[in-house]
Amino acid sequence: MDNTGNVTGLACPTTRQCTVVDNLGNVATFNPGAPGSPAPVAVDGGHVLYRGACPTTNQCTSGDDSGREVTFNPRAPGGASPETITGANFLLAIGCSSATRCVAVDAAGKGFDGRRADRSRPTIKITTPVRGARYTRGEKVEADYSCFDPDGALDVASCRGPVPNGDSIDTATVGRHTFTVHASDWSGNRRTRTVHYTVERKHHRKRRRRSHPGLWHAPPGWSAGRTSR
C-alpha cells in the first residue's frame, strides 16, 4: 500500500476507510476491504510522520519528528499545513477525541493537549413529534430526535429534549404543544430546534338507531290512538 517509505502509523475512522503515514511525510488512504495500491501523497515532505488519528473521514492528524502537528484531509491530503506545538520535540503519537480536540505525546514523555477553533454549530433532527401533527389525547407517541456535529459525533456534548429520546411525549393535555431540543458541542456552540403539535379529544361516533324489520312506522303527522267509526 505504501511502496516509498516505511509505514509508521495507521488510523481507520470507518470500516471502509483507513489512512497510513510513513517516514517520508507521505500519507495514503485506502479501503481495507479492497486495499489495492493507493498512491502516497506528500503532506510533510522530509519528516517522519508518527501514528495519527482520524476523528472523521475528512480529517486526520499526525505528529512528526520536529514537534509539529500535521492535519490533513485524507481524501485530498495535498493541502496540509503543519503547526508547531510549543515545547514538543519529537511527537510519537497523537489521539483525537473529536475534530477539534487532540492529545499528543513526544519522545521525552511530555503530553500536550490541544484544541482548535470550532465555530460549527451542531444540527438537530426531530422526526417525532411531526411538525404540525395532530394526536389524540392519551395516544402513545414516542419521541424520535438526534443531534449531529460537522466535526464528528464525538463533538456533540449535549442533546436534550423535553423527554429522553424514545420516551413518550406529552399527550395528556388537550391543546397546542411545543417540543424543543437543545444541542451543544464541547466548544460551547449551541443550536435549538422547535416543532409544534396539537392534542385533540377523542371523538366518539354517534350511535345510529337501528330499524327493526317487520315493524310499521307511522308517517310524519300521524299519532297513535283509536279509530272512530
The amino acid sitting at 193 is: R
Chosen CATH of 7-115 out of 2.60.40.3500, 1.10.1270.20, 1.10.10.10, 2.120.10.30: 2.120.10.30
Please tell me the pTM assigned to this model: 0.53
Architecture, CATH, for domain 123-200 = Sandwich (2.60)
Q: What is the pLDDT of residue 210?
A: 56
pLDDT for 220 equals: 63
State the pLDDT at residue 173: 95
Domain segments of the chain: what residues?
7-115, 123-200
**What is the mean pLDDT for each group of 10 consecutive residues in the chain (229 residues)?**
71 88 89 80 86 82 88 80 81 78 84 75 95 96 93 81 97 97 89 97 63 58 55
